[in-house]
Amino acid sequence: MKRIGVIALVACVAGALFLLASGFVKPARVLEVQSPDKNLTLRVTVDDSVRYSVMYRGKEIVASSAIGMTLDNIAIGPKALVKNVKRDKHKGKIVLPYGNYREIADVYEEMELEFSDWSLVLRAYDEGVAYRFKTRFDKPVKVIDEQAVFNVVKDPGVIYPETDVYTSWEVPYVEYPSLKGMPEQKRALTPVLFSYDSVRVVVAESDLMDYPGLYVQKRGGKIRGAWAQYPKETVMGSWGNFVSVVKEREPFIAQTTGTRAYPWRIIIASNDDRTLLSNDIVYKLATPTVLKDISWVKPGRAAWEWWHDAMVADAGIPSGMDNRNTALYNHYIDFAATSKLEYMMIDAGWSNIFDLSKVNPKVDIQAVINHGKSKGVGVFLWCVASTLVKDPDKYLGLMEQWGAVGIKVDFFDRDDQEAIRWFEVIAQAAARHKLMVDFHGCSKPTGLERTYPNIVNYEAVRGAECSKWDYTANPRHHLMFPFIRMIAGPLDYTPGSMRNASKAAFKPVDPGLPSTQGTRCHELAMYVVFDEPFAMFCDSPAEYRKYPDIMTYLSAVPVSFDDTRVLKARLGEYAVMAKRKGQDWFVGAMTDWDARSLHIDLSFLPKGKQFTAEVYTDGKNAGVEASQYDHKTMQVNSTTALDLSLAEGGGAVLYLRPVL
């Protein structure tokens, strides 16, 4: 019997070799690209299907995972035959219009696998690897579905920005100690992070245009891509009947041109949490700018009335939400000018929501904008997406005529294909009228701000507004999303609270004057640690005027920098970052609910040069009385080392100016 078995095995092997030699069975084709530092390898196998895997430092982190697309006229992936392979190694730089650096290295290895009428493009950077599909069809197509599997190996922990809907992006993070222990069907926004003992793996996307946004979902024990289907019927509803709500969806996710590139699917891996705070792969993969002149795009900081209910105790005039009028807005503009802020953000209430040309009779918007111009303060105006997309040139032309410099567009509340189109339509129209854009109530960024640099910010984060309603915007959360959500791009957290509370003392307040969780210095550090090209000062001018020493720092801290160094960081626990603008340096340190001492040296300073340091640290009892802080001025240089004592939910900031 054993002899018969051996003969049968030999016969099978011989038969298989004969079939291969005869061309009846095609051998699997295995191709790969490597990151410049050789730490990451993206491998693709082509036979009956197209599958990829990812290696990091010689170990597999994403096991063989099938990818493809199902169109109405063809299935991309199964039984594919590679017709041509093109390779490229790119080494260049991207000069940034604003951000955390003046320029960033753009170095990668690329491979394009060409099939009959579609291609698979693969790239490997030091920061991560990515793939995308490209098609070359003569006619429009419907994308029935996309197959994107992220078969992360073993059993990592999962940090999940979890959601059961396709309409919300300001979500808290849910932490699962193991992927196997996470229930089936759980869905999350991207980016999403998987955590091993020494390695973090992040799944993200870039260059999302004319296509629904990527979610991930656990199905069949694996992490798979998920997308909102195309809207078939929409009605106005939700908040005040000014949000476009989907009542019925089509049995496909997109209808689009036959010749195009689809979004990048990204896998990031790192054994150093610091790199997650400086990862620019989403931006690098995005389409370069299509705007020829962006000299008018100037990110900055803004006074803002909404968070604190427009209550200004020392204004000398009536304040509060019912008293938002020309005089009160002019008071905010005066505060912005005195505080060296570039902008005033006027939120909902200045106009009719459904017709932006119908201005609130309490507000002479032209007079307010003119007053701002006389003080060197530009004005942003709030509106809802559903109104703006009906006739963007009409409304944006009117705002341009008034002299506004930007818009805050709110309540998208979707990221299906139709809603994603709105982002580009609005960015294009705003650019025609030389208006900057702050997106709110929106899905996460995917690099569109590179294509249209007049997009100066996105919300898409559970921010300070939630302090009015619940306990989710807390120091633990503050040390989560910079390592995950911020990889996607800038965020509008709206920091600046001067009413600070410990975990025990905090209670949500709405309406009225809210407070925030964490110390005063924790809040100040947000202006360094968080990436916010358009940054709000969320609190009342009356509160800031109480602390002239703090305003020395807040009046100076910029939103765009020439260089960034991540000094220390651990996901969910602490972060210390140093950023330079010109010759000035700004250092921000934050901790979660654990008090800790962080030793930092200032070796990033130029050697042989003295600096004056304004140092703000938690007060002795800041763990209980969170508004307590200490401020001192000292001389430092590149050899100086400091031990920063951070209270529970604490922080510290340094403002360093060269001694002339």
DSSP letters for 517-558: ES-HHHHHHHHHHS--SEEEE-S-HHHHHT-HHHHHHHTT--
User: How far apart (Å, rounded) are the C-alpha atoms in residues 271 and 284?
Assistant: 21
Place of tokens 């170095």: 107
Q: Is 410 a catalytic residue?
A: yes
User: How far apart (Å, rounded) are the C-alpha atoms in residues 132 and 264?
Assistant: 5
Catalytic residue among 32, 127, 410, 648: 410
Could you tell me which residues are beta bridge partners of residue 537? 303
Per-residue burial over 444-479, b = 16 or more CB atoms within 10 Å of its CB, e = otherwise: bbbbbbbbbbbbbbbbbbbbbbbbbeeebbbbbbbb
Catalytic residue among 416, 465, 523, 648: 465
Long-range contacts of 386-392 (CB under 8 A, 24+ apart): 386/236, 386/242, 386/243, 386/244, 386/411, 387/242, 387/353, 387/354, 387/355, 387/356, 388/356, 388/426, 389/422, 389/425, 389/426, 392/425, 392/426, 392/429, 392/430
User: How far apart (Å, rounded) are the C-alpha atoms in residues 528 and 309?
Assistant: 26
Place of tokens 């030793």: 599
Q: Is 465 a catalytic residue?
A: yes
User: How far apart (Å, rounded) are the C-alpha atoms in residues 462 and 472?
Assistant: 8
Q: Is 178 exposed, middle or buried (0-12, 13-18, 19+ CB in 10 A)?
A: exposed
Whether cis (ω within 30° of 0) applies to the bond prior to 191 is yes
User: How far apart (Å, rounded) are the C-alpha atoms in residues 218 and 475?
Assistant: 28
Place of tokens 């009228």: 433
User: How far apart (Å, rounded) are the C-alpha atoms in residues 450 and 435?
Assistant: 16
User: How far apart (Å, rounded) are the C-alpha atoms in residues 537 and 419?
Assistant: 29
Among 388, 395, 406, 411, CA closest to 359: 395
Instruction: Look at residue 449 and give its three-state secondary structure.
Output: helix
CA 533 to chain centre: 12
Whether cis (ω within 30° of 0) applies to the bond prior to 27 is no
Among 595, 586, 469, 585, CA closest to 525: 586
Q: Is 79 exposed, middle or buried (0-12, 13-18, 19+ CB in 10 A)?
A: exposed
CA 335 to chain centre: 30
Catalytic residues: 410, 465
